[in-house]
Copies of this chain bind each other. A is one copy, B any other.
Amino acid sequence: MITTSFFLFAFTVLVNGFACKDAKLVQANGFFFSGLHLMGNTSNAVGSQATPVTVAQLPGLNTPGILMARIDFAPWGINPPHTHPRATEILTVIEGSIQVGFVTSNPENRLINKVLEKGDVFVFPEGLVHFQRNIGYGNAIAIAIVGLSSQNPDVITVANAIFGAKPDIPNDLLAKAFQADVKVVDQIQSKF
């Protein structure tokens, strides 16, 4: 199971000396996070785990936030198709071989994909559906940086949004949208 809990503290006052009377109280720990060297638990349905960094963010109204996460992949683990509506993502491979891809928007819907090795970096453009999967024989590790154009990057996992919505999106509508039988839709919906 991928558990991604971002704790964004949107301070209204911060570290510069004169707009903020609490400058004296600023502590190094407020800018610090420990543990990105620890492996995440990938024993789940998709074989991957994101460990987000929960550092405090600067709150300036026009200041873009930055989030980062370590992603661990079991052999053949995947990070299923998802989007960040308001964020560009940069992925760096620390260990292993990871296939990555994103799909351009209408009407092209082209799959842009690439196999990444250690030291490779890839950018997923803002808002587009993208995925990763481990295609090596061992574990793989990546660092994902997500830069926000707004205060909250958001994550929408496509399969969950479409087939796991609560209550269900009407099955006949999905059947039409995916040009599949209603019973295929029912079957997939039952898994989520």
Contacts and interface: CB of A to CB of B under 8 A. Distances in A.
Interface in A82-114: 82-83, 85-86, 88, 90, 92, 94, 99, 101-114
Contacts of A179: 45, 159, 188, 191-192
A123 B94 CA distance: 21
Interface residues of A, number: 129
Interface in A112-144: 112-114, 116-129, 131, 133, 143
A119 to B, nearest CB: 3
Nearest to A2: B2
A187 B178 CA distance: 10
B3 A2 contact: yes
Contacts of A53: 90, 121
B2 A5 contact: no
A32 B117 CA distance: 11
B18 A5 contact: yes
A155 B103 CA distance: 12
A23 B104 contact: yes
A153 to B, nearest CB: 8
Given A18-B108, A24-B110, 18 more contacts: A2-B46, A2-B106, A5-B5, A5-B18, A9-B10, A16-B128, A32-B120, A55-B123, A57-B123, A62-B149, A64-B149, A81-B161, A109-B161, A111-B167, A129-B161, A159-B179, A178-B188, A179-B188
A33 to B, nearest CB: 4
Contact of A4 (B2, B126, B159, B169): B2
A104 B18 contact: yes
Given A104-B26, A156-B106, A178 B163 contact: yes
